[in-house]
Amino acid sequence: MLLSFEHVSLRYDPHVAVLSDINLALVSGMFYFLTGASGAGKSSLMRLIYQVEKPNVGRVVLFDRDTSTLLPHEFPALRRRLGIVYQDFRLIQHLTALENVALPLCVAGAHTSDVRDHVSELLAWVGLGGRENAFPCELSGGEQQRVAIARAIVNKPKLLLADEPTGNVDEMSSKKLMHLFLELNKMGTTVLFATHQQDLVQKYAKPVLRLKKGRLVTSLAEVA
């Protein structure tokens, strides 16, 4: 099992449960949609996976580890097995597209000059060939999103968490991005794709985790 939630609840405020009694199990190699209305808890569920939130109740087991038992020095290694496309991109404004994408490799010890060719290829793959030296402020929202996607996959993550990765682009671009995620999944990356776009969910026959006011209302068993 790649990831499981066992009776997980999350509260930011002691009186309001943002996620209530979530149980789920994700299998390696699959593509999952995570859907639900705005405010349903999609981003919060993702934050529990990438460990910036801890459940108030229940257990999150990731890569066969109960995450409540992780020691601080174990986080970077775990983090390197995850790719994250944040809803708000989080690109570094004073770095170029190429430098932003190279960053996870550089943090792991590589030099930009050594990874330049690989990163350029990846940028071309997401449709940004020739834009390597552009700064985020010189790119459109959809282009910044592509840089964020390239950065999330440059480390070949086991699990890719994509939070509304097609939220800022038109239908045509959204189709192209969706194609990229499906290709990645075919190459072996497990994908959890959060979106409130029901047309997208309906178009692709993939398992769906549906949140409603912080509760999981569609279990994977129902859609299998």
Ligand X SMILES: Nc1ncnc2c1ncn2[C@@H]1O[C@H](COP(=O)(O)OP(=O)(O)OP(=O)(O)O)[C@@H](O)[C@H]1O
Contact positions toward ligand X, by CB under 6 A?
12, 18, 36, 38-44, 87, 196
Residue numbers of the site for Mg ion (CB under 5 A)? Answer: 42-43, 87
Q: How far is the CB of 118 from Mg ion (least distance, A)?
A: 31
> Is 12 or 204 the residue whose CB approaches ligand X more closely?
12
* Residues 81 and 28 sit within 8 Å (Cβ to Cβ): no
Q: Which does 41 bind (CB under 5 to 8 A by kind): Mg ion, ligand X, none?
A: ligand X
Provide, rounded to whole angstroms, the least separation between the CB of residue 201 and ligand X. 13
Region for residue 53 given its phi and psi (left: phi exceeds 0; alpha: psi -120 to 50; beta: otherwise): beta
**Nearest CB to ligand X, comparing residues 18 and 148:** 18
Q: Which is nearer to ligand X, 98 or 208 (CB)?
A: 208
Q: What is the DSSP letter of 136?
A: G
Rounded CA-CA distance 5/121 in Å is 36
Residue 162 CA to residue 168 CA, distance in Å, equals: 13
Question: Which residue lies nearer to ligand X by CB, 203 or 212?
Answer: 212
Which residues share a beta bridge with 22? 8
